[in-house]
Amino acid sequence: MLDVATIQVTDLPCCNIEQRGDLPECKAIYFVLSEAGRILYIGKSVNLFQRWIGHHRLPQFGEMMVKIAWLELSADVDNAALHAIEKECIKHFKPLTNGPSKEVDDTGIAIEGHFCITDPEVIKSLSSAVHSGKTLNHCINVALRHYVTRAEKANRYMVLKQKMRDQAVQLSRLTDEMVAMAQEAENA
């Protein structure tokens, strides 16, 4: 198997995300890179071009100035080997948005593992703040404010949902009582 420690991501072919239509149709391990060259995400694909036509991370990365670098693999590499290489790359390079767990809660925050920003609105706000020269502290506060607001909304939603359940139970009881009363009136 490929020794991922020998991969020099900066030496790989790459293109801006806007140019993803120019990606080759090849089996590959791909790396999403920030403007500064930080690896944000690592993935695998049997057809790199097809993968990036409608990638599930486009909303997340589309607002950022990212590049896609790729390591083309031989067409005879099977899917199990492709998956194993991807896992080894993630383990070795530790990208920001591939965490040990990809499970995300209702607020868009990773439940376990790395902090993971998945909300396109937050990414857009952070990107704008960074490009306008805001401090890291300011950018973190932007993200936290958004997630706190979403968590508060989610909590209010859960409270309303419980109230509606309680009212449905009450309505069901009243309906049962009305049916029983109607049956008693018929029998009388």
Q: List phi, psi (to 5°) of 43.
A: -145, 180
Separation CA 26–CA 50 (nearest Å)? 9
Which range among 92-96, 120-124, 180-184 shows the weakest confidence by mean pLDDT? 120-124
pLDDT score for 101: 38
Most confident option among 61-75, 109-123, 131-145: 61-75
Produce one character per residue of 54-68: b if its CB has 16 or more CB atoms within 10 Å, e if not. ebebeebbebbebbb
Separation CA 7–CA 119 (nearest Å)? 30
* 73 vs 63, residue with greater confidence: 73
Bridge partners of residue 39, in order along the sequence = 33
* 12 vs 168, residue with greater confidence: 12
Coil, helix or strand for 42?
Answer: strand
Coil, helix or strand for 104?
Answer: strand
Read off the pLDDT band of 147 (50, 70, 90).
Answer: low
Most confident option among 37-46, 96-105, 140-149, 172-181: 37-46
Give the chain's mean pLDDT: 79
What is the strand order of the sheet 67-72 is part of? 14-16, 67-72, 28-33, 39-45
Look at residue 177 and tell me whether its pLDDT is greater than 70.
yes
pLDDT score for 171: 74
pLDDT score for 184: 85
pLDDT score for 64: 74
Which range among 72-86, 135-149, 169-183 shows the weakest confidence by mean pLDDT? 135-149
Taking only the tens place, the pLDDT of each residue in 116-138 is 566 676 777 777 776 777 766 66
Q: What is the mean pLDDT of residues 169-177?
A: 77
